[in-house]
Structure 1
Amino acid sequence: MTHPHESQEPSGPHDGLPAGTGAGPVRHLPGHIAAALAGAGGPTDSAGQPWAGRSLSGDDAKIHNFEDDDGAADAGYLAALADLAEGTGDEAAVVAALATARVFVPILAQLAEEGEGAAGKHGEELQGDKLHGDKQADMALVTLKAPDGRTAMPVFTSAAALEAWHPEARPVAVYAARAALSAVAEGAQLLVLDPGSEVTFVVRRPAVWALAQQKTWTPSYADPELAGALGEGAAGFPAVRRVEIHPGGGVASAMADGRRLPGGGAGPELRVVLYLEDGLDAAGVQSIVAGLNNAWARNEIFAERVDSIEVKLQRAAP
């Protein structure tokens, strides 16, 4: 419940623009991520086999690079999820476990004339799901549309989970880091692990970028360097007495049995609490929030490490 002297302004997904703004210029990838993509190839799969002419049937449907793979989910990932559910682990540990995990990327062998096909049978988990691809191609990576309009790439930790989601999709086995690179290349801001399964875990944009670069990811709400950057940005606003960061309301996710998992949500993942001096009118508060949004959006640390944000306003103690 919001305290009487508090107010809250949730902001949409952060894409390098002030929260709440409309469409703006195209966001450019940081140079180190662009370089990683440039060296990642594109016309071949993870084993260097060309996509062109692949029928995805018979020998072409085999899993490359993972001999004796039984299709089960990675044990380290499952253990990290279990720790998260029990309260002994966190989101960062789940993403770290993915760094060495094999996942399956779904490929659709046939496309409709318009370049779109039916979503998986559990596609209602993300509203308005579509399968997108070049209508001239005979295969395509699958992408989804999240409820907030962002593009998401589904990946699966087990062959059984992929088959249950879409029986006609073909599994391509890759390390999760390679799947993250593919997501960035496709313009997907989210990786959605095992949609429609008992546990669906969303890897948000900053974690996708870290995974693609095989770097350690720290959630924005636990990032002291980011907290310092936000504080510095507020230094030009004397009415802001203090800035705090906390997990946002969208960090948690729902399991199939109704239990809440304290991680794996689509966001907003960062809550910024602004402690303001007393006596400000509505116009003054709005001006401060807009000014801070603009200042933060120009900050490289904020732009790269924050996926989505909600701002909570609170009266500072006298």
Structure 2
Amino acid sequence: MDSRDNPDSAGSAPVTRHLPGHIAAALAGAGGAADTAGQPWAGRSLAGDDGKIHNFEDDDGSADAGYLAAVGALLDGNGDEAAVVASLATARIFIPIIAQLAGTESMGGLEADKQADMALVTLKAADGRTAMPAFTSAKALAAWHPEARPVAVYAARAALSAVAEGAELLVLDPGSDLTWVIRRPAVWALAQQREWIPSYADEALAAEITATAAGFPAVRNIVLLPGSGVPAVTGTGGSMPGGGAGPELQVVLYLEDGLDAAAVQDLLAGLQQAWSRNVLFAERVDSIEIKLRRAVQ
């Protein structure tokens, strides 16, 4: 062979090129009778259903059509928050996983990763609560954190993970033009695969709140309305009637005339204490704001 075909042999000793240590170590440990989880290669089939790795192999990574339709209906004035959450009951979403190196080991004089922990990502909401981000598409996740690994799961499974991590909020597509906050009661409902009813539209809850207020004669009437934090601001500056992170339930109290400031404060303290002891209230109300009105005589 002519020296021109092999530059390393022209006038000098051959140059030895080495693979990076972590790659060489990985190759050195490969080729065994089992995979890294200890499962034998023998007898495995990659044909038909045996070759399927997960439920989303034909997934192109785009957002779920049912979710997009529900959000579109909400924006057009034909839908509501409950329909959007209901669309997630069968939707695939992505949760971001970040690899964290836990240690290294030496293999044949080469340093290799000994353990890399895969960690769920959590955020802190403006009110201090823990929130778990999730994404409706792989593209949205990559735009948010290019180094995060997208793990495809059903939204119900993501809700279970959020509960396990102590997260009270599940935030869909944070940082995008359309961010949707799933509040604690809706997260629990998704995790339990049951219907979620917004607190301001919950007739059973309204009955409980009204019954509790019956012990306070100064309260003449109660009305439940969507809170000021229900709407969300889109990336284009518009408003969407759902998916917001602020107060979810507005309780309008119609009080008898003639109460002074101290009497009103005592009344509110007593009501809030009574509501806090109510199991249904604790389960179905995420956040509350109270408005006072004078009862019409």
- Using the size of structure 1 for normalisation, the TM-score is 0.72
CA contact (8 A) 1:64 1:172 kept: no
CA displacement at 1:139 relative to structure 2: 1.6
8 A Cα contact 2:102 2:116, kept in partner: no
SS in 1 for 2:273: helix
Secondary structure, counterpart of 2:210 in structure 1: helix
Could you say if the C-alpha distance between residues 111 and 293 of structure 1 is closer, same or farther in structure 2, counting changes exceeding 3 Å? farther
Cα deviations by residue, 1:243-282 (Å, 9 ceiling, x for unpaired): 1100000000010000000000112100000000000000
Cα 1:289–1:316 change in 2 (3 A) is same
1:72 maps to amino acid: S
1:112 offset after TM fit, Å?
Answer: 9.7
Moved over 6 A (4+): none
Match in the other structure for 1:68: 58
**Alignment check: 8 A CA contact 1:103 1:158 kept:** yes
Report whether the alignment pairs 1:223 with 2:202.
Answer: yes
CA RMSD in angstroms comes to 1.9
**8 Å CA contact 2:231, 2:239 repeated in 1:** yes
Aligned residues: 238
Deviation at 1:63, TM superposition (A): 7.7
Give the corresponding residue for 1:180.
159
| Matches of 1:308 and 1:111, distance apart in 2 | 38
Q: Hey, what's the Cα distance between the residues in 2 that align with 1:225 and 1:304? A: 12
Q: CA deviation at 1:65?
A: 2.2
- Measure the CA separation in 2 of the matches of 1:64 and 1:189: 28
Is it true that 1:211 corresponds to 2:201 in the alignment?
no
1:198 aligned partner:
177
1:3 paired residue number: none
Looking at structure 2, the residues matched to 163 and 211 of structure 1 have their Cα atoms a distance apart, in angstroms, of 25
Partner of residue 163 from structure 1, selected from 119, 123, 142? 142
Residue of structure 1 equivalent to 2:71? 81
Secondary structure at the aligned position of 2:100 is classed as: coil
Aligned equivalent of 1:56:
none
- Residue 216 of structure 1 aligns to which amino acid in structure 2? E
Task: Give the CA deviation at 1:138.
Answer: 1.9
1:215 aligned counterpart, secondary structure? coil
Alpha-carbon displacement from aligned partner over 1:105-134 (angstroms, at most 9, x marks no partner): 100012699xxxxxxxxxxxxxxxxxxxxx
Residue ranges of structure 1 left out of the alignment (5+ in a row): 1-50, 54-61, 114-135
1:292 paired residue number: 271
AA partner of residue 206 (structure 2): A
1:152 aligns with 2:131: yes
Taking only the aligned residue pairs, the percentage that are identical comes to: 74
Equivalents in 1 of 2:101, 2:170: separation in Å? 22
Q: Which residue of 2 aligns with 1:109?
A: 99
- The whole-number CA distance in structure 2 between the counterparts of 1:52 and 1:266 is 41
Q: 1:249 aligns with which of 224, 228, 239?
A: 228
Q: Shift in Å at residue 206 of structure 1?
A: 0.3
Q: Which of residues 273, 291, 294 in structure 2 aligns to 1:312?
A: 291
Contact 1:72–1:157 under 8 Å retained in 2 = yes
Match of 1:93 in 2: 83
Structure-1 separation of matches of 2:88 and 2:156: 8
Cα gap change, 1:263/1:112 in structure 2, threshold over 3 Å: closer, same or farther?
Answer: farther
* Cα distance in 2 between the residues matched to 1:141 and 1:63: 21
- Greater length-normalized contact order (CA 8 Å, ≥ 6 residues apart): 1
Match for residue 273 of structure 1?
252
Change (3 A) 1:218 1:84: same
TM-score by length of 2: 0.77
SS of the residue corresponding to residue 117 of structure 2 reads: coil
Q: Matched residues in 2 for 1:145 and 1:112: separation?
A: 24
User: For residues 276 and 249 of structure 1, what CA distance do their matches in structure 2 show?
Assistant: 21
1:192 positional shift: 0.2
